[in-house]
Amino acid sequence: MFQYLYLYYDDDKFQIGTGNDPSDIQSVITTIHGLIDYSYYDVYVDTDEMWIAVIGGNASARIEMDVEIISVDLSNLLQCRTSGISFTTNDLCDGVFKCPDFADEAQCSHPSTFLLENENHTITFPDIYEQMYNASFLKTNSANGFRVKFLAIYLECYAHEYGYTNYCDDANIQIGTGNDTTNSQSIVKTVRAYTSYEDDVYVGSNEMWITVVGFLRYRPYTFYGRVEIEVTPISLSSMSLCSNSDKLLLQGEICDGTYQCDDYWDEKSCSK
């Protein structure tokens, strides 16, 4: 457990491996590179022997750390499907993802909120924290879809390195149809950092989901995030589909002088 880790230079490194031979590159399970000034996520080692190596940079090094090592029962360890990261059974469905593909959170059971037409439901997160994973599920009558309105949104992720500012888009908010957040085909909209404004999104089904995901904290980035979303059921008969995409718009937005469709379909055929 990393209470604190400070690696000032890019070529400073902290490594963890299995067994008792740090020279065996096949035994390395985690390498943490420099430009880190905060706690790192917990690392689990699924063997009864392990090693830790702290490696200073070629020219100079500035390394500080406070690391706690605890033995755990191997029977309580699980492994992410797409990576070698391990986690405990207590980490399942705790709202903080450990697996890069969110497998420890995405399969968790969540009740759906049922909304009547013109009834509002607000989802608010004043602070989107690191490695946060939250899923909301909503239903309405079969004749309705949804309007998703961003009342407030701010996602920013960046790092200052060697006089340059690098931006990241790890944190995201996704909106999809149905009730399966792992189905990439159901995604209607993905919002990534950096953003401070988003247009309304229309969902053409009576079931939908929204996920709010924080960034991976072991990346050397600074992150700020907050969001307030209002979801309202609206009649499917009031929606139209853009001619060249799956994007929906309200019929009242056709010929309003502001295009919604990428090919301007909603404005091209209007009489002047």
Q: For residue 50, tell me if it sits in a domain.
A: yes
* CA end-to-end distance (rounded Å), the chain: 67
Domain range enclosing 61: 2-71
In this prediction, residue 253 carries a pLDDT of 92
Q: For residue 102, tell me if it sits in a domain.
A: no
pLDDT tens sequence across 200-220: 999 999 999 999 998 765 555
- Please, what is the average pLDDT of the chain? 86
117 and 62 within one domain = no
| CA dist., res. 225 & res. 94, Å (int) | 20
162 and 228 within one domain = yes
| CA dist., res. 140 & res. 106, Å (int) | 22
167 and 66 within one domain = no
CATH code of the domain containing 212: 2.60.120.290
In this prediction, residue 81 carries a pLDDT of 81
Q: For residue 88, tell me if it sits in a domain.
A: no
CA diameter of the chain: 78
Task: Report residues of the chain scoring pLDDT below 70.
Answer: 3, 6, 8-9, 35-41, 59, 159-166, 216-221, 272
167 and 57 within one domain = no
pLDDT tens sequence across 132-178: 999 999 999 999 999 999 999 999 887 666 666 667 777 799 999 99
Per the structure, how many domains does the chain have? 2
134 and 62 within one domain = no
130 and 58 within one domain = no
